[in-house]
Amino acid sequence: MPGEAAGGNRPWHNAAVVRARNLARGRLTQPPRTAGEPLPVIALTRAVPDSIERGELTHLERSPIDLARARRQHDAYRAALAQMGCTVRELEPTPALPDSVFVEDAAVVLDELAVITRPGAVSRRPETESVAAALRPWREPGFIEAPGTLDGGDVLCLGRRVFIGETPRSDAEGIRQFRALVAPYGYTVEAVAVCGCLHLKSGVSAIGDATVLLNPDWVDADVFADYERIEVAPGEPFAANALCIDGRVLLPAAFPATRTRVEARGFEVTTVDADELAKAEGGLTCCSLLVAE
């Protein structure tokens, strides 16, 4: 947990946080780090619960999940985050909540506050309480309240522009409430249609603040005309969900052709096997919450 920082009781407003934010967003404004030097970024994760096979599914047929393999892949994911410089911390396990490994959906962590969501799936609503408590030392919470719904997987932040997928999980009221919470800090919020996948970030993710990786079959590429766009390779529709930290990109190993495309645009790519959690409709961004210290 953070101690008293230079910013007094608002440690998230100090210069180190601005630096960390830029790192987390992939801006290469920092001098090269010594290999192994940690970033001021905490990655919160939560263990794969025994109950994961009973999780929500929207666009996939249910198929058996090999729990041991899912846990090995989750461990490798955590190791990759550490390798990328994050300090990885585990939230309290919640074995009875089948989708609780997908911590991204319970909160959206911005520099100034953490928006605690109200997930669209009723079974997922109990996940938020422990996430809110865990984030409290770093960020003031703001809450999405009934009747609004919002999943963190629908929220894509590119600098001060926030895009939110209007999906069965995130409704107009949830988006309205999110906008009201973040507008005082200078963020704008745009609702985006999503078709054919679970969340907005299943179809488009940020590679830094200036580039997006997207699947144009699921998300209208024109919405992101102001950004450099990289399209997923044919035959790899699920490759659009990548995690970018400090300009380095983490992609599932199952998408080599998309990896080649991302590398061709100058990004360093690391891969992890993630196909077991993908059976539960989870991608890479959804298994962590990144907090700039």
* Closest to ligand CIR by CB, 16 or 47: 47
Given the residues 86, 157, 197, 286, the one annotated as active site:
286
Q: Which residues pair with 5 in a beta bridge?
A: 8
Q: What's the min distance (Å) between Cβ of 128 and ligand CIR?
A: 13
Which residue is closest to ligand CIR by CB? 153
Distance CA(243)–CA(77), nearest Å, equals: 11
* Closest to ligand CIR by CB, 247 or 283: 283
* Closest to ligand CIR by CB, 156 or 191: 156
Active site residue 59: no
Q: What's the min distance (Å) between Cβ of 116 and ligand CIR?
A: 15
Distance CA(83)–CA(235), nearest Å, equals: 29
Q: What's the min distance (Å) between Cβ of 30 and ligand CIR?
A: 28
Using CA atoms of 105, 106, 111, 113 in order, give the dihedral in degrees to the nearest 10.
Answer: 150
Active site residue 195: no
* Closest to ligand CIR by CB, 11 or 205: 205
Q: What's the min distance (Å) between Cβ of 89 and ligand CIR?
A: 19
Q: Where are the alpha helices (DSSP H) in the chain?
A: 15-24, 67-83, 127-135, 172-182, 200-203, 256-264, 275-278
Q: What's the min distance (Å) between Cβ of 39 and ligand CIR?
A: 22
Structure tokens at 46: 């939560």
| Phi/psi at 292 (5° precision) | -75, 120
* Closest to ligand CIR by CB, 122 or 146: 122
* Short-list 241, 239, 283, 43, CA closest to 156: 241
* Short-list 241, 227, 248, CA closest to 153: 241
Compute the half-sphere exposure of residue 274: CA atoms within 13 Å on the CB side of its CA: 27
* Whole-angstrom Cα Rg for the chain: 18
Given the residues 197, 199, 244, 287, the one annotated as active site:
199
Which residues contact ligand CIR (rule: CB under 6 A)? 55-56, 58, 99, 102, 104-105, 121, 124, 153, 198-199, 202, 280-283, 286
Residues marked as catalytic:
199, 286
